[in-house]
Amino acid sequence: MNNEIDRLTELFRDILEKPDLILVPELDGKSEEKWDSFSHINLMIAVEEEFELTFTPTEIEESRNAENLVKIMAEKGSNIHW
């Protein structure tokens, strides 16, 4: 995993209040009950600020699993990969 994944993991840990969370592509709102619509908005705002990105409304909705989120971030120019 690269450093960008580590930075993203820290955001997940902080916002979902799970200090031991391991970010894996399979992580989504079904597997992590704290990842609800409220925390998702907080997470996306935090990702935008931390990685200096801007998501569209469709991308915000499609980012509700870690695999898609990382893919969308990479498409937006972030050097992030699993």
Partner 1 sequence: MVTHPSQSAAVTWQFSEQDQLWFANFSGDFNPIHVDSVQARRTLFGTQVVHGIHLVIGALNSICQNMTGLRKIVRLDTQFIAPVLIGDTVQLFVQDMSGDHEDQISWITNHGRNCAKMKVSFEQDTRQSINLPISVEKLVCHEASEEDYLHGGGSLPLFLNGAELSEKYPDLARVVCPLQIAQIIATSRLVGMQLPGLHSLYNGLSVEFSQSEPDAPSELTYQTLRYLPRYKRLKLSLASAGLTGTLEASVRPTPITQPKMAHITNLVQSKAWKSKRAIVIGGSRGLGEAAAKILAAAGAEVLITYLAGENDANAVAEDIRSAGGCAEVLRYDVLKPNEPDFKKLAAFGPDLVCYFATPKILLNTSGFSESKHDFYAQYFVTGMWNLVTGFLGANTGPFRLFNPSTNYIDNVVPGALEYAMAKADSEVLCNYMAEEFNNVSCCSRRLPPIKTDQSVSLLHKEVGDAVSELLPILLGDARSV
Rg from Cα positions in the chain: 11
Does 41 sit near partner 1 (CB under 8 A)? yes
Assess 5 for contact with partner 1 (CB under 8 A).
no
Q: Does residue number 6 form part of the binding site for partner 1 (CB under 8 A)? A: no
- The answer for residues whose C-beta is within 8 angstroms of residue 29's C-beta and 6 or more apart is 35, 36, 40, 64, 65
CA–chain centroid gap for 37, Å, is 13
Answer yes or no whether residue 30 interacts with partner 1 by CB under 8 A.
yes
By CB under 8 A, name the binding residues for partner 1.
Answer: 13-14, 17, 19, 29-30, 33-34, 36-41, 44-45, 55-58, 60-61
